[in-house]
């Protein structure tokens, strides 16, 4: 029996320091994969122009799309870029939007968080709304102004889970409390996605891909922060890890 941990690809963000471009992934995401999903995280550089993405996906058992400081570039969903909605990370967009489509075509386990949640919607043809807090009757979904991370990532509002949905079934509840660190959100839901949870102001907080044989879920909040200390996060990352193990086992069987 193959007991090796599954490999989870984690696409990188990019930033510049002086004249150089660097690729990075947040520690909290990598630790959630390693310690809660019980898998091996592998950072994928944002180099879609230089990578054979299909060959890369042949070697991983799941993909985690992380949150980021940057926003998806508006032309990807038919909007005009603005300095107010920066920063952008164009090379990350090139990688992640292509990966979403390839993962779903392969039924490769896919977990999308915050920016990744928005990338999932855009990759499938949906749109985003910038500056949610400016809408009438909206909550302010932006990050609280705290330097202390426990306060910044503290649970601040409930979300209602869709009865009978993937999320409600996994968690065994109809409501959960989440953190909130985003100023963009989903506008038009992409064809091929279904809503799994909404905030009290109606903003979509979670989606899934129906009729797929594997785990394909996106959430707007940050379950990766201290994931091992939050039972709901443990359940989500645990289910993602189990799906990756099942995918790994299926691939091994197909090679026999």
Q: Active-site residue numbers? A: 114, 222, 224
Alpha-carbon distance 47 to 129, whole Å? 27
Report the C-alpha dihedral over residues 73, 147, 143, 114, rounded to 10 degrees. Answer: 50
Q: Where are the alpha helices (DSSP H) in 39-134?
A: 53-57, 90-106, 115-123
Sign of CA dihedral 10, 209, 207, 179: negative
Closest CA relative to residue 205, chosen from 217, 215, 192 = 217
Task: State how far the Cα of 214 lies from the Cα of 63, in Å rounded to an integer.
Answer: 12
Integer Cα distance of 113 and 224 in angstroms:
9
């Amino acid at each position: 029996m193959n007991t090796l941990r599954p490999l989870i690809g984690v696409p990188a963000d990019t930033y510049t320091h002086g004249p150089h471009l660097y690729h990075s992934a947040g520690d909290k995401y990598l630790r959630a994969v390693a310690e809660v999903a019980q898998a091996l995280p592998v950072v994928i550089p944002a180099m879609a122009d230089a990578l054979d993405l299909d060959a890369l996906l042949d070697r991983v058992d799941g993909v985690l799309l992380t949150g980021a400081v940057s926003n998806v570039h508006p032309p990807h969903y038919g909007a005009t870029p603005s300095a107010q909605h920066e920063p952008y990370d164009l090379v990350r967009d090139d990688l992640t939007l292509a990966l979403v489509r390839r993962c779903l075509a392969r039924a490769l386990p896919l977990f999308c968080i915050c920016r990744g949640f928005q990338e999932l919607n855009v990759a499938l043809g949906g749109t985003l709304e910038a500056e949610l807090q400016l809408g009438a009757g909206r909550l302010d979904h932006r990050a609280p102004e705290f330097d202390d991370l426990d306060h910044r990532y503290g649970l601040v509002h409930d979300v209602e889970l869709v009865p009978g949905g993937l999320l409600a079934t996994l968690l065994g509840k109809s409501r959960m409390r989440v953190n909130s660190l985003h100023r963009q959100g989903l506008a038009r839901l992409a064809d091929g996605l279904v809503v799994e949870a909404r905030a009290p102001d109606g903003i979509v907080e979670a989606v899934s891909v129906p009729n797929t044989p594997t785990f394909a879920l996106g959430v707007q909040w940050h379950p990766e922060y201290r994931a091992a200390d939050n039972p709901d996060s443990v359940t989500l990352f645990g289910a993602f890890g189990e799906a990756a193990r099942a995918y790994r086992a299926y691939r091994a069987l197909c090679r026999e």
